[in-house]
């Protein structure tokens, strides 16, 4: 059973909520003193598994659990459909996108800055092909305006070559432990996003990705662009991942040398001694 199908089946009998912040942290316990284990971006629907005061334990569409403050969410009403699940949907394709209270960049400061991949509901209305603006409804039910150059209607899955081309747009973005957005990625969050852009949802953490049934082992001398690389102390202790882009290079979000998305070389002694697994998507 695919990750998305399992999530959809579980959601049928579980209360749900939608993320209303640009990016919402998920914690290992119901306190901001706990470590951040992952994030969910604006517009993502979550399964709510447990309530504890001003916190809820949630599960994301990639089947990842964590605690989130209630202030980051809007709970669905009974019978309410999930946000951005049907109708006219657009997705942010810029690294960041500002949304405004009116169709102007000069009258007021942005209402919110959204990350890449945020999904939004378009407000129905007559199409104006010459208009640079579109009106959208945020998951907190506010109506705002976004520039059409920042969005696309339901982008199609990318080929490997296009995914590699896309990956290079993120070079220099900061590394962030637990990060899953353009406000900051960690290694597995970045690789997971690149695979998701190819139309495939895989597990969140690097060790789970390497063991996932949706990949097959590959020998290092048989690597092809788009293959996934896993690093660590041993195959049983994987701590890092990246995507191979050809010519002995891979792209990854790392703290090595500098904390950012960068292109690294497999011949670098730092990485060659840590490479423990290579995988290819089925």
Q: Domain holding 93: CATH number?
A: 2.30.30.40
Specify the pLDDT at position 4. 54
- If asked whether residues 245 and 182 sit together in one domain, one would say yes
Question: Number of helices (H) and strands (E), helices first, in the chain?
Answer: 5, 22
Q: Among the three residues 152, 179, 200, which one is the final residue of a domain in this structure?
A: 152
Range of the domain at 197: 160-281
- If asked whether residues 99 and 117 sit together in one domain, one would say yes
pTM score: 0.92
Q: Does residue 140 sit within a domain?
A: yes
- If asked whether residues 114 and 20 sit together in one domain, one would say no
Q: Does residue 181 sit within a domain?
A: yes
Specify the pLDDT at position 128. 58
Specify the pLDDT at position 15. 82
- If asked whether residues 142 and 193 sit together in one domain, one would say no
d(CA 246, CA 226): 8
Give the angle 179-181-184 at the CA atoms, nearest 5°.
Answer: 55
Cβ(84)–Cβ(121) below 8 Å: yes
Specify the pLDDT at position 135. 95
Q: Among the three residues 47, 75, 103, which one is the final residue of a domain in this structure?
A: 75
- If asked whether residues 66 and 138 sit together in one domain, one would say no
Q: Does residue 33 sit within a domain?
A: yes
Specify the pLDDT at position 127. 57
- If asked whether residues 219 and 265 sit together in one domain, one would say yes
CATH number, residue 165: 3.90.1720.10
Low-confidence ranges of the chain (pLDDT < 70): 1-14, 126-130
Determine which helix (DSSP H) or strand (DSSP E) holds 3, and give its type and residue range: helix 3-12
Q: Among the three residues 15, 45, 75, which one is the final residue of a domain in this structure?
A: 75
Q: Does residue 82 sit within a domain?
A: no
- If asked whether residues 20 and 65 sit together in one domain, one would say yes
Specify the pLDDT at position 155. 86
What stretches of 198-237 show up as alpha helix (H) in DSSP?
206-211
In total, how many domains does the chain have?
A: 3
- If asked whether residues 140 and 170 sit together in one domain, one would say no
How far lies 267's CA from each of 131, 188, 227, 244, 248, in Å? 50, 21, 17, 13, 7
């Amino acid at each position: 059973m695919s990750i998305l199908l399992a999530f959809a089946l579980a959601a049928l009998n579980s209360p749900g909520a939608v993320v209303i912040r640009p990016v919402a942290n998920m914690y290992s316990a119901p306190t901001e003193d706990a470590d951040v284990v992952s994030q969910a971006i604006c517009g993502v629907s979550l399964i709510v598994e447990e309530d504890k005061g001003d916190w809820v334990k949630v599960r994301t569409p990639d089947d990842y659990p964590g605690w989130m403050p209630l202030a980051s969410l809007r709970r669905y009403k009974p019978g309410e459909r999930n946000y951005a699940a049907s109708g006219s949907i657009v997705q942010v394709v810029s690294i960041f996108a500002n949304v405004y209270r009116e169709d102007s960049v000069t009258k007021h400061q942005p209402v919110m800055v959204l990350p890449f991949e945020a999904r939004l509901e378009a407000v129905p209305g007559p199409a104006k092909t010459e208009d640079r603006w579109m009106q959208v409804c945020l998951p907190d039910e506010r109506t705002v305006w976004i520039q059409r150059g920042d969005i696309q209607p339901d982008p199609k899955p990318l080929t490997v070559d296009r995914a590699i081309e896309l990956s290079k747009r993120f070079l220099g973005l900061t590394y962030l432990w637990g990060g899953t957005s353009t406000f900051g990625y960690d290694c597995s969050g970045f690789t997971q996003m690149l695979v998701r852009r190819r139309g495939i949802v895989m597990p969140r953490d690097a060790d789970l990705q390497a063991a996932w049934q949706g990949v097959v082992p590959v020998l290092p001398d048989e690597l092809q662009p788009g293959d996934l690389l896993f690093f660590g102390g041993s195959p049983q202790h994987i701590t890092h991942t990246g995507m191979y882009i050809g010519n002995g290079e891979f792209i990854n979000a790392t703290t090595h040398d500098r904390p950012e998305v960068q292109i690294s070389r497999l011949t670098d002694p730092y990485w060659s001694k840590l490479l423990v697994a290579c995988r290819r998507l089925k």
